[in-house]
Amino acid sequence: MSDYYDDDEHGDSIYANDLTSELLNVQELLKSKSLEELLKEDRDNIKEKEKEKQWYHGRIARDVAEEILKKGLLKHGHLDGLFLVRESSFSSSSFVLSLYSKGIFFHFQINEVKSAHFSIDQGPTVHGLDRLIQNYQEQAQGLPTHLTQFCKCKPPPDEQRYSGFTNLLHRAVLENIPDVVKQILDSKYCPSVNAKSEWGMTALHDACYYGFEDIADLLIRHGANVNCFDKDGQTPLHRCCTGNKAGIISILIQEGNANVNERNPKSGWIPIHQAAFKGYLDCIKILLDYHSPYLPRADDDTTPLDLAENYEHSDCVTEIDQFEQPKVITHKYDWFHPEIDRPGAQKLLELKGLREGLFLVRGSKKNLDWYVLTLCHDQKVFNYEIKTKNYRDRHMFFIDDGPFYKSLEHLIQYYSYHANGLPCALTVSVNTTRELVQISKDDEYFNLVDTSNRYPTNVSPALPPRPESLDMTYTESASGPVSNNAHQHAPPMPPSPTPPMSSPPPPPNHPPPISKQQSITKQPEVSLRQIERKLLSLGKEIGQGEFGSVVKGVYKKKGTGRGKTEKTDVAIKLFHKTAINNQEDFLKEARTMQQLEHPCIVNFIGIAESENHELMLVEEYISMGSMLDYLIDHRDNIRKVDLYLWAAQIALGMMYLEKMKMVHRDLAARNILLQSKEKAKISDFGLSRAVGSNSDYYKATTGGRWPIKWYAPECVNYGHFSHASDVWSFGVTLWEMFSYGEPPYGDMKGIEVIKYIEEGKRLEQPDKCPKVAYAQMLKCWNKEPRERPTFQALNAHFEGENEYSCTRDIMRTLRN
């Protein structure tokens, strides 16, 4: 199922009005002023508009940042939330937010999660440093305060931004006047060639989309970044494929060495995905000529072949399906060592001098069908699993999220041309007789070696924190006290490659011990209710959750009388040791639940920590378990009256969530639990989020695993989650109920469902579903969020059906 679907990536909506904009008339302006005058005016204009973003101070050390903040405090009268952003002194393109709050200077590392996508601590991942800061100006989201004033310096670097201001260069490009573009590029007043327009595009993106070849050529020669991402996560190559401009593809690759493997950070699509989605055969052909992989995999595993098929571009399907992979010119006997193990491989590569790109392939111990690539980079040895999988009845080989290849040899050949996710391309192998073999390359291919340097993420145990973590502490300001819990906000380190064997042993594969102050109360404003471990006894497993198993248990809490204890049945969600990256999500779920108290919502009891530092989330035990299982197992014993009652209760619980300004984002039959036949409760708050006070929707910035089939179109297309999108999911939940646990949309894939909904089609009326109930579902699935019913109306409907007056009695007791 597709987790993420980006409807904007075809870019047409962004471009719809561009050429008609009054801003664009450069030709006209040049009649009355010289280009130089216009450029100066433009520069001053943009400078004025950028005033709000001049919080960036470049590379300055921490103590310098604090000095600047101190001066700012004198000026602004010790204003809480005074901040600046700087480049980390330990690595370029990594940033730090320096912030003053309540007498303390904080320094938060800003992690680049993926290209130009940033996050602070465990907060949301946001595209662009500019939008990240804007978000924290609106809401604190886990920081000690929201950002208020800043110490002024300059706006953030172009390539790290989401959008900017449309300048004269953008305008001349959009008007397709190469002469003027050239003059601008040659002028000393030329704006940065990689500046982004208000639509989040660089001049090169625009030239590529419209197919202005001369201009693209000029821009590349003036240093335009050919691999930079626009607002939709597209590179100029992606944009060519969006606009069907096959001619520019070769210019980008030949003149600019553009990377045919660059992934859209939002979807994982590389340019050929884009071309297949749009059905542009010429683009596909030329990309394949330039050795684009023909079966790359997106974040949700979708290949261009899947896209071409789903969108019915039969000529593209044939082209990709019948594509002949280039003949292999590398041989297994040059690099394959069936007998060798990990330490042996390490030793052999060390013996051969750990040359950059030196490698061998060995069998995997984990799975007899798999292999391991052992590779040298930077004098260290890294190991990558080569997995196999059946795809359309073909046995395919792949590394991490890399492309499918039909043989091990094809895969090795591919990675000798493109690093694409590995730390470096493969250059030379060692064979079983311990000779070095230069990997053969055909000349035509040779110039296209990809220098990209991204690492696979799922083969990597966490490395110890890098020195940047020094930036995570805070110190006393001139006027404030020193706090002793300085590490409260230490963020996780970004993924790193498998550590070399010679490096210190990796940290244990479980969350670090959580001091109660440190992790459980990570967000200072919400401290979690804690339970002593010894008061809990654990029983049998009752389910499997996202983070690990859910077990039944008993909580012995202190009773009212002296020395008395009361025993309560509880459900305990265990946070699995290996789910190290999800600890914050787990705690987020606990924090959300703790704020809620309602008879139609599962009650949170507390959080505990096991002897070996595993986390446990303790909640009330709901004896009949998941409503979905109940619907499937007891369909003959469930009456309409039961379904109406549960529907009314779910709507009532959702009314309460709405009052608490919370969107659930995962309302589905599987997440409703039954206490009894008369009592349904909403559970699983793992995806729930607070909606901001100024807005009635939550904007998701990270993909994650999304239940697409339960999501309204605005969630899928724009990441907008609101009470109205919860209403859509409620409609799907109703459909599951009235079809007694059938899976919605059968075995359709997520992407097919999106298309189905876009075409105006909806789930059909289940066999035994009353017309009135189906009418409610259809209302919930109105394309227009504002037209959908409210939970209040839905509650009233299901409660108010005359023949079911018992519902009303039960509901009355719930309200009291």
Residue 814 beta carbon to ligand AMP: minimum distance, rounded to whole angstroms: 18
To ligand AMP, the closest distance from the beta carbon of 122 in angstroms equals: 19
**Among residues 573 and 797, whose Cβ is nearest to ligand AMP?**
573
Q: Smallest distance from the beta carbon of 587 to ligand AMP, in angstroms? A: 14
Which residue number, 619 or 726, has a Cβ lying nearer to ligand AMP? 619
Confirm if 84 and 54 have CB atoms less than 8 A apart: no
Strands, E, within 250-357: which ranges? 336-337
Whose structure tokens read 């300055």? 60
Give least dist CB 590 to ligand AMP, A: 12
Rounded to the nearest whole angstrom, what is the least distance from the CB of residue 681 to ligand AMP in the complex?
Answer: 8
Q: How far is the CB of 543 from ligand AMP (least distance, A)?
A: 2
Least separation in angstroms between residue 704's CB and ligand AMP is 15
CB of 664 vs ligand AMP, minimal distance in Å: 12
Residue (121 or 684) nearer to ligand AMP, CB: 684
Q: Which parts of this chain interact with ligand AMP (CB under 6 A)?
A: 542-546, 550, 571, 573, 602, 619-622, 625-626, 670, 673, 683-684
Q: Which of 118/604 has CB closer to ligand AMP?
A: 604
Pairing of strands 549-558, 604-609: unpaired
Residues 416 and 427: beta-carbon distance below 8 Å: yes
Considering beta carbons, is residue 457 or 603 the nearer one to ligand AMP?
603
Q: Which residues are catalytic?
A: 666
CA 808 from centre of chain: 43
Q: How many CB atoms lie within 10 A of CB 472?
A: 19
Count the alpha carbons within 13 Å of 655 in the hemisphere toward its beta carbon.
Answer: 18
Find the DSSP H helices in 475-613. 583-594
For residues 576 and 100, give the distance between their C-alpha atoms in angstroms, rounded to a whole number.
36
* Nearer residue to ligand AMP within complex by CB, 171 or 573: 573
Between 169 and 605, name the residue whose CB sits nearer to ligand AMP. Answer: 605
Give the nearer residue to ligand AMP in terms of CB position, either 327 or 540: 540
What residues have CB less than 8 Å from 139, skipping those under 6 apart? 146, 692
User: What does the DSSP assignment read for 461-487?
Assistant: PPPPPPGGGGGG-EEE-SSSPPPS-GG
Residue 389 and residue 395: Cα distance in Å, rounded? 6
* Nearest C-alpha neighbor of 250 from the set 219, 277, 289: 289
Which run of H or of E encompasses 77? none
User: Helices marked H in 600-722 — which ranges?
Assistant: 627-633, 640-659, 713-718
User: Is the Cβ of residue 536 or residue 673 nearer to ligand AMP in the bound state?
Assistant: 673
Spacing of C-alpha 153 from chain mean position: 31
- For residues 86 and 679, which CB has a smaller minimum distance to ligand AMP in the complex? 679
> Closer CB to ligand AMP, residue 142 or residue 545?
545
| Residue 116 neighbours by CB under 8 Å, 6+ apart | 127, 128, 129, 159, 160, 161, 162, 229, 265
- Quick one: which of 302, 245, 316, 244 has its CA closest to 270? 302
* Pick from 178, 187, 166, 173: nearest CA to 34: 187
Query: Measured between alpha carbons, how far is 469 from 471 in angstroms, rounded to an integer?
Result: 5
Q: Minimal distance in Å, beta carbon 670 to ligand AMP?
A: 6
**Which residues, in sequence order, are CB contacts of 52 under 8 Å at separation 6+?**
none
Contact yes or no for 806/662 (Cβ under 8 A): no
Cα torsion at 593, 597, 598, 603 (round to 10°)? 50
Which two three-digit tokens encode residue 163? 């959008």
C-alpha 379/C-alpha 564 separation (Å) is: 64
Angle between the N-to-C axes of helices 236-243 and 203-210, in degrees from 0 to 180, rounded to the nearest 10: 30
Tell the smallest beta-carbon distance from residue 685 to ligand AMP (Å): 9
Torsion of CA 483, 487, 491, 494, to 10 degrees: 140
